[in-house]
Chain A
């Protein structure tokens, strides 16, 4: 279950940061949380809350852990508290803003790198843009390269980055959809989702 997986990953990170040793938390069943003698398990209740309040489980879990200052371990039932839900909603807004800034940063980087190449190699802006997109040592994300390559209609480059871009998109699909809506069209989103479902590299 996605909620449990997210909580386990977050708890492992928290334990590693606290103890400095790798953790196997969640590798074995968690008696109190995975099974219940009365009605629905906590994971199901949290999943229902995520659906009702339209919050991604990852955001909910990260909202709990990022404000956790106690030395004791956080517990899954805390995800149901109202202040964690509010923090998660605020985090969503912050994440969208962050991704928007990241997009602007990558556009400005692209413009800067392209301008340098135009002057240095006396090439056209189009060729310089493709050269920048091909150069994997430059600090541009695969998703961004994919989007620009699709816009430039360069099949070789966008197919090259398709798989990685799909993985990046999946990690934060809701945030990317909101923040990159001008660049990431519905067709692109559909292709990225299809790529992961199909598991093919084309």
Chain B
């Protein structure tokens, strides 16, 4: 006859009671998987000596029987339990507790609970019990007795190891390749809104993934980050909240290089289309242009879009329109260490900052994280740890995977990581082929990244350069490139592949018109550039 299945709490047990302990013994007695795990992890001293010493004694007896016969026969346990009680004359047990052990009702119930037990529930109960008794209780004891203050690092190390041992109980990494019901592979990606990157990332970026951008010194890394972050923040502002998670997504830029004041100016230059130089020079908002008194560059912007310059809002109006809204969708983490000691803790510190952000702003969630830039973050972490800089390559190799698991998957967000090219790659021409193996301090920077991009050295006068897609796990765009222009005034990466091509003779980026004038036929001098060669935007 099929027995009724035992009802166990689906939620983790927060407060361990005697009832939970009795249930745990049932699972240990009935489910071999729980028994195996319990004999490895559970110790008699984990039971409270004031409230439940009898259960500790029972477990000690069961453990000793298991070690001898590798199973748990009820009669043997019952006999040994009575012998132990008679021999020891244990005074720590109350008469009631001694009676509970002697009369055999508890043991009978443990070995025959009258319902069906699921080993998975038992493992969860064991995990919660051990977390409470082997991790939390000793920690609280150490805090109360002051032991934590005297030997902080060793105790923390011990607690960390205990937690690692306990927290994976009941969680298996083995999965069948042929499940009863097929789970659809979903990847909720969306385009980031920056044409030069979207050209390669046809499905956009997705939560739980990491992406890399490599660039030469002063070659558009931070600009790319700002362009992506503002574009993404604007999308968040214009998107209805997800019913499954109504918290507002926010873009977080962790800046290890530029302090918040400079980042602020660059972000607002991009978002409000205000010349960056103007923002850097003004003393206060009153110096910004107003409607009807536009600067020359603003008149040109209005003319390009067929707008009446007299009606277009000036710098002040644009800033007022976009600034407050953007402030709720994009934040800067100043990790430069300029006005705090932050920035030398690497990824664990960044993860803690993000957790702190979500805790302080319960209506927000981290949607996209951008790290500017990895080399600086790791070198400062190494300096703080007193480690040799030659270890940097090991940290760089892991950064993609670490960002993916510890930030991307933990916060269900996408992560963008900027990094520099090596000194040798910095010296190359604007049209030279770049690869992620040319990253500074480590050839394996792209490990764990879904996409990796490389910006070539920009030409000094025109700021034109090539954006290379050096790694693409999805659409097979590896090795393809496009021509971009770094627009420093408005902090944009402009896609100009429709207007420029590479002259094969001079290996320079030239406008299509120039190429036509010199060769008589544009197509005759263009180098094949992967997708650019098709003239995607013509």
Complex interface: chain B residues within 8 A of A135 (CB): 304-306
Contact yes or no, A20 B504, CB < 8 A: yes
The contact of B312 among A13, A21, A119, A121, by CB within 8 Å, is: A121
Q: Residues 507-538 of chain B: 1 if any A CB is under 8 Å from the residue's CB, otherwise 0?
A: 00000000000011101111110010010111
What's the minimum C-beta distance from B522 to chain A, rounded to whole angstroms? 11
User: In the bound complex, what is the Cα–Cα distance between A57 and B366 (angstroms)?
Assistant: 52
Asked if B524 and A23 make an inter-chain contact with CB atoms under 8 angstroms apart, the answer reads: yes
B273 at the interface (CB under 8 A from A): yes
Answer whether residue B397 sits at the interface, using C-beta atoms and an 8 A cutoff.
no
Q: Given that A112-B231, A139-B498, A141-B498 are contacting pairs, would A120 and B304 also be in contact in the complex, using a CB cutoff of 8 Å?
A: no
B238 sits at the interface (CB 8 A): yes
Looking across the interface, which residue of chain B has its beta carbon closest to that of A112? B193
**Residue of A whose beta carbon sits closest to that of B199:** A105
A130 part of interface (Cβ distance < 8 Å):
yes
Among A16, A101, A112, A119, point to the contact of B525 (Cβ < 8 A).
A16
Most buried by B among A98, A101, A139: A139
A136 to B505, CA, bound (A): 29
Q: Is A180 an interface residue (CB 8 A)?
A: no
**CA of A115 to CA of B199, assembled, Å:** 19
Decide: B306 and A131 in contact? CB cutoff 8 A. Answer: yes
Contact: B325 with A119, CB < 8 Å?
yes
**Chain A neighbourhood of B325, CB < 8 A:** 119
Given contacts A17-B527, A20-B505, A109-B195, contact A119 B321 (CB under 8 A): yes
Contact A168 B321 (CB under 8 A): no
For residue A104, CB closer than 8 A to chain B, the reply is yes
Q: How far is the CA of A93 from the CA of B169 in the complex (A)?
A: 51
Is B519 a contact partner of A120 (Cβ separation < 8 A)? no
| CA distance in complex: A112, B193 (Å) | 6
Q: Which residues of B contact A17 (CB under 8 A)?
A: 504, 527-528
Once the chains are docked, how many angstroms separate the CA of A141 from the CA of B195? 12
Q: How far is the CA of A171 from the CA of B536 in the complex (A)?
A: 12
Closest to B305 in A: A131
Contact of B305 among A12, A21, A134, A171 (CB under 8 A): A134
Chain B's closest residue to A131 (CB) is B305
Contact yes or no, B524 A141, CB < 8 A: no
Question: Complex Cα distance A66/B370, Å?
Answer: 38
Taking the closest CB of chain A, its distance from the CB of B498, in whole angstroms, is 6
Complex formed: what's the CA distance from A21 to B325 in Å? Answer: 55
Write the nearest CB–CB distance from B528 to chain A, whole angstroms: 7
Q: Does B318 contact A (CB under 8 A)?
A: yes
- If A120-B273, A122-B321 touch, whether A134 touches B523 (CB-CB below 8 Å) is no
A9 touches B321 (CB 8 A): no
Q: What's the least CB distance linking B509 to chain A, in Å?
A: 16
A139 engages B306 (CB within 8 Å): no
Q: Is the CB of A12 within 8 A of B494?
A: no
Q: Is the CB of B495 within 8 A of A139?
A: yes
Q: Which of B235, B495, B504, B521 contacts A112 (CB 8 A)?
A: B235
Whether A122 and B313, one on each chain, are in contact in the complex, defined by CB atoms closer than 8 angstroms, is: yes
**CB <8 Å contact, B235 and A115:** yes
Q: How far is the CB of A109 from chain B (nearest CB, A)?
A: 5
Q: Give Cα A115 to B307, complex, Å.
A: 17
Determine whether the beta carbon of A134 is less than 8 Å from that of B304. yes
- Counting CB contacts under 8 A, is B496 at the interface? yes
Does A81 make an interface contact (CB < 8 A)? no
Say yes or no: A12-B521 contact (C-beta < 8 A), given A108-B193, A112-B231, A119-B325. yes
Is there a chain B Cβ closer than 8 Å to A140's Cβ?
Answer: yes
Chain A residues with a Cβ closer than 8 Å to the other chain, count: 40
B195-206 vs A, Cβ < 8 Å mask (1 yes, 0 no)? 100110010000
Bound-state Cα–Cα, A97 to B267, Å: 35
B253 within 8 A of A: no
A13: which of B195, B307, B524 is its contact (CB, 8 Å)? B524
Q: Are A102 and B525 in contact (CB under 8 A)?
A: no
With a cutoff of 8 Å between Cβ atoms, the chain B residues found around residue A23 in the complex are: 524
> Which residues of the partner chain A approach B305 to less than 8 Å between Cβ atoms?
117, 131-132, 134-135
| 62-117 of chain A: CB within 8 A of chain B | 95, 98, 101-102, 104-106, 108-109, 112, 115-117
CB distance B322 to A120 under 8 Å? Answer: yes
A36 within 8 A of B: no
Choose among A105, A120, A122 the residue that contacts B195 (Cβ–Cβ < 8 A): A105
Complex contact B523–A109 (CB within 8 A): no
Report the nearest A residue to B519, measured CB to CB: A22
Bound Cα distance A117, B322 (Å) = 10
Cβ of B464 under 8 Å from chain A: no
Contacts of A101 in B (CB 8 A): 202
User: Given A105-B199, A135-B304: A9 and B523 within 8 A (CB)?
Assistant: yes
Cβ-based interface call for A137 (8 A): yes
Is the C-beta of B191 less than 8 angstroms from some C-beta in chain A?
yes
Q: Find the residue from A23, A122, A171 having the highest chain B CB count within 10 A.
A: A122
* Candidate in B505, B531, B538 with the most chain A CB atoms within 10 angstroms: B538
- B107 CB to nearest chain A CB (Å): 68
Q: A166 at the A/B interface (Cβ < 8 Å)?
A: no
Query: Inside 8 A of A121's CB, which chain B residues have their CB?
Result: 307, 312-313, 318, 321
> B238 near A134 (CB under 8 angstroms)?
no
B272, B527, B534, B537 — most chain A CB neighbours (10 Å): B537
Contact A139 B523, beta carbon cutoff 8 Å:
no
B250 to chain A, nearest CB (A): 17
Q: Is A142 an interface residue (CB 8 A)?
A: yes
User: Chain A CB within 10 Å — which of B271, B494, B519, B536 has the most?
Assistant: B536
Q: Are A22 and B234 in contact (CB under 8 A)?
A: no
| 10 A-B pairs closest in CB distance | A112-B193, A131-B305, A134-B306, A139-B495, A108-B191, A135-B305, A135-B304, A139-B195, A115-B238, A141-B537
- Can you list 26 A-B contacts (CB < 8 A)? A9-B523, A9-B524, A12-B521, A13-B524, A16-B525, A98-B534, A102-B536, A102-B537, A109-B195, A112-B231, A115-B234, A119-B237, A120-B273, A121-B307, A121-B312, A121-B318, A121-B321, A122-B313, A122-B321, A132-B305, A135-B306, A139-B494, A140-B537, A141-B537, A142-B538, A168-B538
